[in-house]
Amino acid sequence: MSKTKDLFEERINREKAIHEKLLKKEMENLNERIKSDRYNIDNMLLKSGIGYAYHDLINSKDKLNTNYQSKFNQTYHAIDVELYKLNKIIDGKTRMVNYKYHDKKDKVVHKILSEIM
């Protein structure tokens, strides 16, 4: 009985080895086929009827992105110009306030000095 069991296990092990060998070979073949250009997404889409629709969608998406980027750049530029104008106005008013302050200070100092002397 032990001999029969050993023969049975030996046969199972041989069949497992053959099965694993075949499985490994088929997996390698499958990987090679998948890597080939035949199964490339672009090629598969072009061969099917939806290839043109797919590329039209991509092109329209690119157009939308371009339009969006253009409008964004225009708006950003307009905001930048307005900020530049505001900074110029603020700078001008700051200079005017500083000038008036120093002018009044000089007048007060001159008045005090003239009264002292």
pLDDT (tens digit per residue) in 70-93: 999 999 999 999 999 999 999 999
- Asked, for residue 71, whether it belongs to a domain, the answer is yes
Residue type, 8: F
Q: Which two tokens stand for residue 93?
A: 């008013």
Q: Six-digit token pair at 41? A: 């997404």
- Whether this prediction's pTM lies above 0.85 is answered by no
pLDDT tens-digit series, residues 27-77: 988 888 777 767 677 777 777 777 677 677 777 888 888 889 999 999 999
Range of the structural domain that residue 14 is part of:
1-35
Please state whether 40 falls in left (phi above 0), alpha (psi between -120 and 50) or beta: beta
- Whether residue 109 lies inside any domain: the answer is yes
Pair (69, 110) in one structural domain: yes
Residue-by-residue DSSP string for 63-80: HHHHHHHHHHHHHHHHHH
43 within 8 A of 49, measured Cβ to Cβ: no
Same domain, 22 and 65: no
Tokens of 63: 């157009």
